[in-house]
Every structure is written in structure tokens, then in C-alpha cells.
Amino acid sequence: MDSSGSAAINTHISAEQILRDVYKKGQKAKGSTNIDILDLEELREYQRRKRTEYEGYLKRNRLDMGQWIRYAQFEIEQHDMRRARSIFERALLVDSSFIPLWVRYIDAELKSKCVNHARNLLNRAISTLPRVDKLWYKYLIVEESLNNIDIVRSLYAKWCSLEPGINAWNSFVDFEIRQRSWNSVREIYSKYVMVHPQIQTWLNWVKFENRHGNYESTRSVYSLALDTIANLQNLQIWSDAEVAKLVNSFAHWEATQQEYERSTALYRISIEKWPSNLLLKNGLLDFEKQFGNINSIEETISYKRKMDYETTLTRNVYDYDTWWLYLDLILESFPDQIMQSFEKAIVDSRPKVLSKTLHWKRYIYLWMRYICYVELELEDSLLEDELFQRLINTIIPHEHFTFSKVWIMYAKFLIRHDDITKARKILGKAIGSCPRAKIFKGYIELEVKLKEFDRVRKIYEKFIEFRPSDLQIWSQYAELEENLGDWDRVRGIYTIALDENFQFLTREDKIELLQKYITFETESQEFEKARKLYRYYLELNEYSIQSWIEFAMYQSSTPTEQQLSDLAKLQSENVNENIEFEITDENKVEARNVFEEAVKFFKDKNDKKGRLSILEALKDYEESYGSEVDQEIVKKRFPKTVKKSKVQNGIEEEFVDYVFPDDIDDDKRKPSKFLELAKKWKQEQVL
């Protein structure tokens, strides 16, 4: 077979793929609506219907663990803990490694005050997933809250026997410290440093001994750490920096005990042990400098660094990395100068070029650090408000560019101080003077949290006016209205966006939006409206092969108006039964009609490859839903390949043509020219 034949085969689409595409379109969940229940009978009906929906969905997709959790949560809300447990257990049989499922199950038992159930469940969880720290912590918190100290201790011992990460060991240590069991802490650390022999682990042990031990126990821990590192140095577990960190810590601790000779000897022995470690040599040099007066030397070093930074910033006021380090130093060593330094930074380093360059962005981050310091450290809300006003009114050139993050930060600051009205004014001013997508989204998020949906609609309308070519805005607006249950508004939004006279959206965007519209109508059981939309979908897709196939499969998989009415009637007569739609001959006829229409379309266009692709899709469909007779009929309609030649640019080329049996039958049914003339002559003789 030549390249043309192989191209036709490559366009083959399986029935499984077609059904999967149709199924994926129905995965989007509908927005929930509030239901008023007036009596027990309505409650039972509501419960039965919801359970039927959940069970039906889980039959189709049993691996959707979120749906299992929502199903169990529904039963909990109905105060039916027995059913909820059953659902959780069924879900665990499907996937016992899904951690959120365990957590929700455990929380449900705890909220129901079924502590023993929760304890048994926690025991199962840590046995099933022993490497999941969250489940261990959950178990430990429950037992400790019940003051079962012995059980907590045994759980920690069992956990640490599995050699978990450092967080587990640290939690065990913190627990024993809370119990003031110092010897137990020492036993834990003796095992901890063997499993995780990092330098920080040893230093944490030293810190503990400093607080709760004596100088002998502290020295013994330091000595044990250095001996361990020296004996295992061939394994190259620790870097030079880590070794130097431990030695420096040991030496400085000895200095605090006024054992200066021990400190010096420790440095010299360490240097002999690790002669290539330059950090140890620098540490010894620094120690010797600090021997006389440690505090005065540190202050001198900090002051020297401060002068160096100021000299660098004098040469280049736009060196924002240095500004950041300079503020760090001032905050650490000269805290009384921090406000003056912040003012100096934001005044001196303001860029002069009015374009949104990297300099401007880093300059605004200096302002943000200033504002965060005022709020978190000074807790001065008045000064913070002044800084925000100064920033948005006199610093940022909004006529050239703006910074959405600043407006949103200011609005959130006002909300934290319960001034929602002013926050709205700030965001409204931002939209009016310098609209940006992030500002619109932040404003919408605020109003949604406040449940002011009329305001949200107005903001969305302004947002669309600002950026009508953004598909996401239209989609999010439609989703909002769908969640609010306003179907007319949803249809109105889709209709406006898909209007043929509306040229802001591209054809690809309209196709994507139309797919969402079709999904919405399908979920709303407005199948006739969805079928009409599919006609427009065909047009936008330029009557592609895939779009014809999707339309045909949609016709097959959705009920007609009469079928929908019959299903509703049948459901009302059999309240306690779950009645689902089944594909009937009527649906198959509708699907075949679409396939035939597609065949005729490509035939009229003389697109033989497209016509062949439709026939292949029809063949797959008949193999899934048709009888053997139907399958045989479709097979007889497949074309034969005929090699032909044509002359192009003086060169004779061979190509493969397709001869369809339908075309031959049509030619046979046509009367010949001779018979037409004979018939005409006979009619003239009669006259």
C-alpha cells in the first residue's frame, strides 16, 4: 500500500477512543443547589436519589477517591455513621494507599466521638502505610490528647524502630521533654545519632544537655560526636563545613566555661586530623582574635561590613542585592537605625526610567519589605496605611505602568483591619485608573468570599469589557453563574461569546467555549439544545471528520425528547429502582443518519479520504452496536483501491484512487443518453 493508503489507515479512530472522548466531556460536576426538605418522606426521597447518583457514578469510575469521600461525607451529614463506615471501607478496598481517605475516615470517627473506632482505624493505617508520617502524627496526637502517655511512648518507639526521618525523632524528643523525662531523651538521642548522624543532630543533643544536663554531660556529647566523626571520616559523610561547624561549637562552648587552653588544643588536634580543612584554620584564627574581647570584635566586624555596604551603594544605588544585605545587617546589628535605613533605601534607589524594568520590580520589593516590617514588627497600622498611600499616590507612575500586587496587598491590609468599604474603593480605583487582570481577579475573589454575587457580576462585566478576547474570563463567568444555579444567565453568557458578529474570540477559543456550552446543556438534560449547538460546532470545525464522529456518537449516547419523557415517567413509577438510559434502535438510527450525512458531505466535496474515514468510524460503530447484517452492509460500502496515472508538468505520475461501490450503483441507476433520446422521440410521435 502506498503513502495515501497508509494515511487513511492512520486516521482510523477506534470506538473505544470515541466513547472515551464522549465520556470525558461528561465528567464536569454540576454546581450544587439548595434543596428545601419539608417532611420525612422528602428527606428519604432526597437521600435515595443522592445515593443512587453516587452509586451510579462510582460504578462508572470506581477509582475516583474524591467521589468516595464525598459519598461518605454525605452519609455523615445524614447522621448515618454505619453507612459512612461501609463506604469508607469499600473505598479502602479500592485504594488503601490514598492518604486523604484514611484521614477523612479517622476524622469522621473522631467527630462522632467513636474514639475506639478511630484508634483501631489508626492502628490499621500505620500498619498498612508505615512510611506515612501524617498517619503516625495523627495517632500520636489522639493518644496524647487522651493523656495515654504510655501508649504514646510505645507508638514513638515502634515508629522510630522503622528508622524514619528526622522529624519523627525530633517529635519523640519533644514529647519526652514535655514529660520531663531527661534520661529517656538521652536514650533517644543515643539512637537518633546512629540513624541520622548529621552534625545538626549532635548539636541538638548538645543544646539539650546545656539546658537540662551539666558541663560534664555536654562535654561527653561533644567528645562522642568528634570521636564518631574521626573514626568514620573514611566514609566521607560529613563535609569540611560541617566538621568545622561542630569544632567551632565545641571550642566556643569550652571558652564559655573559661577553658581557653582546651579550646586551643581542640582546634590544633582537629587541624592535625583534617589538615586540608581551611575552615578549621580560619576558625582557630577567629578564636584567637576573640580571645581578648569577643563582643567588641564582633561589633567592629559588623561596623566594617556596614561601611563596606554603604560604600558599594554610593557607587551604585541600584544594586538591590546589596541593599537587601545592608538591611539584613542593620536589622541584626543596628536595630535602632532600621527605620532610617528603610527610608534611605526607598528614596535613594528609586529608578528614574519610566518603564517597567527589573529595577522597578526589585525597588517595589524593597517597599514591600518596609511595609511588612512595619506591620509584623512595629504593628503600626497607621504608619502602614500612610506607606501604602504614599506608594500608590506618589511612587508608582500608573500612567505608564502599575503593580497589581501592591493594590491587592493594600486591599488585604484594609480587610484585615475590617475596613471593607475602603478596600473596595481601593480596588475600584485600581480598575478605573490602571486596570490589570490580576486586580480584577483579586477583586472578584474578595467579593466571592463576601458572597456579594451582584458585585461579582458587575466586576466580570467590566473585566470582559477590559479583555473581551480572554477565553478564561468568559468560562469563569459562566461557571460562576452555573454554580449559582442561574441557567438563563449561563446561556446568555455563552450566546454572547459565541455570537457570529462577535469577533474578539478566535475560532479555536469559540470551539473550546462551545464544547463547554454543549457539556452544560447535556448536564442540564437539554439534549435537543445540545444537538442544535453541535450543528454550530460542525460549522466552526469546518466539518472536520472528528466533529462528525463526535456528533454521531452524541446522538447515540443521549436520549431523545420522547425517551427522556419515558424515562422520567418510568422513574416516577419505580421510585425505589435505579433506572438508567440505555441505547435503543432509535438512538442508533439517529447516529447512523449523522454518519450518512457525513458520507454525503464528503462525497459532494469529492473528498474520498474523508469519506473513507467516516465509513471506518461507521464500521467501528456497527461492530459495537449493530447486527451482523448491518456490519456486512457497511463492509460492502468500502472502496477498492485502483492505481491510476496522470500527467502533471509534463511528467506522468501514478496515484491511488478509491472506487466506492455506492458510486457504481448510482451510475447504473442513471438512464443512458440513448434511452433518454428514444423516450423523447416516442413522446413526440404520440403527439
pLDDT at residue 372 in the model: 93
Rounded Cα distance, 101 and 576, in Å: 30
Q: Is the pLDDT of residue 5 over 50?
A: no
88 dihedral zone (left: phi>0; alpha: psi -120 to 50; beta):
alpha
pTM: 0.49
**Mean pLDDT, residues 114-140:** 89
**What average pLDDT is seen over the chain?**
81
- One DSSP character per residue, 96-147 reads TT-HHHHHHHHHHHHHTT-HHHHHHHHHHHHHH-TT-HHHHHHHHHHHHHTT
Compute, in degrees rounded to 10, the torsion defined by CA atoms 233, 239, 243, 244: 140
Q: What is the DSSP letter of 638?
A: S
C-alpha grid cell for residue 134? 501524617
| Residue 325 pLDDT greater than 90, yes or no | yes
pLDDT per residue over 154-195, tens digit each?
Answer: 998 888 888 888 888 888 888 888 888 888 888 888 888 888
- Find the length of the chain: 687
Name the burial class of residue 601, with classes exposed (0-12), middle (13-18) and buried (19+) by CB atoms within 10 angstroms of its CB: middle
How do residues 416-444 score in pLDDT, each as one tens digit?
988 889 999 988 888 888 888 898 888 88
- Between residues 23 and 223, the one the model is more confident about: 223
CA distances (Å), 568 to each of 57, 260, 276, 344, 563, in order?
Answer: 19, 92, 85, 75, 9
Helices then strands, each counted (H, E), the chain = 36, 2
pLDDT at 565 exceeding the cut of 90: no
Mean pLDDT of 56-85: 87
List 53's β-bridge partners, or say none: none
Q: Specify the amino acid at residue 294.
A: I
Count of CA atoms in the C-beta half-sphere (13 A) of 295: 1
pLDDT given at position 342: 92
Question: pLDDT value at position 505?
Answer: 85
Show the 3-state SS of 40-90.
Answer: HHHHHHHHHHHHHHHHHHHHHCCCCHHHHHHHHHHHHHCCCHHHHHHHHHH
Q: Label residue 4 by pLDDT band (50, 70, 90).
A: very low
* Lookup: cell for 53: 447518583
Instruction: Give the lowest-confidence range in 273-287, 467-481, 568-582.
Output: 568-582
Domains of the chain: 197-292 (1.25.40.10), 468-542 (no CATH), 647-686 (no CATH)
Q: Read off the amino acid at residue 224.
A: L
- 519 pLDDT band, cuts 50/70/90, is confident
Q: Which has the higher per-residue pLDDT, 326 or 567?
A: 326
- Predicted pLDDT at 327: 92
- Residue 442 buriedness (CB in 10 A; 0-12 / 13-18 / 19+): buried
The phi and psi torsions of 61 (rounded to 5 degrees) equal: -145, 80
Q: What is the mean pLDDT of residues 384-389?
A: 92
Work out the pLDDT band at 296, boundaries 50, 70, 90. Answer: very low
pLDDT tens digits, one per residue of 471-493: 888 888 888 888 888 888 888 88
Q: What's the confidence (pLDDT) of residue 587?
A: 81
d(CA 644, CA 674): 29
Helical segments of 637-672, H only = 661-669
Residue 260 vs residue 196, higher pLDDT: 196
C-alpha cell at 571: 422513574
